[in-house]
Copies of this chain bind each other. A is one copy, B any other.
Amino acid sequence: MSAVDDLILISVDDHLIEPPDLFAGHLPAKYLDQAPQLTRREDGSDVWRFQGVDIENAALNAVAGRPKEEYGLEPQSLEEVRPGCYDVHERVKDMDAGGMLASMNFPSFPTFSGRLFATDDVDLSLALVQAYNDWHIDEWCGAYPGRFIPMAIPAIWDAELTAAEVRRVAAKGCHSLSFTENPAALGYPSFHSDYWDPLWRAVSDTGTVVSIHLGSSGRLSIPAVDSPPDVMITLQPMNICQAAADLLWSRVLKQFPDIRIALSEGGTGWIPYFLDRLDRTYDMHHAWTQQDFGGRLPSEVFREHFLTCFISDDVGVELREKIGIDNICWEADYPHSDSMWPSAPEELGEVFARHDVPGDHVAKITHENAMRWYDFDPFSHIARQDATVGALRQRSAGHDITIMSRSRRVLTPDEKLAQFRGRAERAVAAAGR
């Protein structure tokens, strides 16, 4: 058995595509006809239709097992994506084939912060948030105990309601909240307002990690509307440094010392530089900016509060002790375009081998840190010897992992680029730039 077969992999950042029957059984009956509906458009794609808006399922969000030539932003139908995107039974088979013991799944169509559900009708909005969370925790994660780290979405428009929701779902064992990189960018009070104090109190009381995913500010990293798509793809992970700095220097961490934040899909290789920069900023400027961490350096404060996550990050693994070996988790990003599914374990194994990472560090990065940060114990459901990459893959023998082509016509590269440009223009216009 190779070292890769022996790995136990928990991914702290994957994604699900919501299935059409999501709200049935969870949303009060009186709201069912107002709920978002998965709708087939004339072009053959499925969109979530809600209050006059169509939310497309961009192809880059569900390209696992797809030829790279077919990547792009084309809206897709459910039939065109791997069933593992939206069907939990198929998802677990894909996880087995990818050697992944457990996974935390971020939402898709409601956005990372659930802001789609922020409507003028507060009762409807809260009902949607709660139904989503109940579906996700009880139905999706509940179907396979030990295979999913449950995660809730906030009632982003209201700190008190979000706090109450955090407490409600924590009682069911959910210790992760998907939140935004920057509430101010969404039109809500910033991290520096005391508006969010009820939320900080709730996550502190319940041991809930605030999981902040790249892109959750709603602002894209696009220097200009005509920047090529590669620019945005390159920049998005590191852009989460803005949220990290904004929270690190805020009053919040000083006042709520138990808060923990995950920088989901943010990568790790830039963190050692970032920590040096934090400490230098403190050294040069705290005398006038009045920053006071009780004698600690900001880099130490960072390690008390922040979890970093990587998919395949050579520099981050090499410099893991400068980041903090207890502050790094692996992630798979299935089924997004950064995912290496189903061969992520081999890629990870190569990085570990290249840097002679000792076994205790491998264990922390691959699963122990995830278990501790998210208060998650898969081994109460699954025996250790059944949890390894090798064991999971053995069990999944026969599951089809063939690369599948799209059934409809694939756009030409020029059509794809034009589509990206349209997105960029709408995003820049929406940001008021």
Contacts and interface: CB of A to CB of B under 8 A. Distances in A.
B245 A190 contact: no
Interface stretch (A42-50, A119-127, A236-244): A236-244
Contacts of A233: 281, 284-285
Copies in the complex: 2
Given A69-B288, A269-B272, A289-B229, A223 B237 contact: no
Given A226-B190, A241-B238, A322-B315, A273 B284 contact: no
A286 B234 CA distance: 12
A296 interface: no
Interface string A186-222: 0000111100000000000000000000000100010
Report whether over half of chain A's contact residues are helix, strand or loop; otherwise say mixed. Answer: helix
A432 interface: yes
Contacts of A224: 182, 184-185, 190-192, 246
Nearest to A251: B228
Interface residues of A, number: 74
Nearest to A316: B273
B322 A230 contact: no
Interface in A248-262: 248-250
Interface of A: 67-72, 181-182, 184-185, 190-193, 217, 221, 223-231, 233-235, 237-238, 241-243, 245-246, 248-250, 267-270, 272-274, 276-278, 280-282, 284-291, 312-316, 319, 322, 337-338, 413, 416-417, 431-433
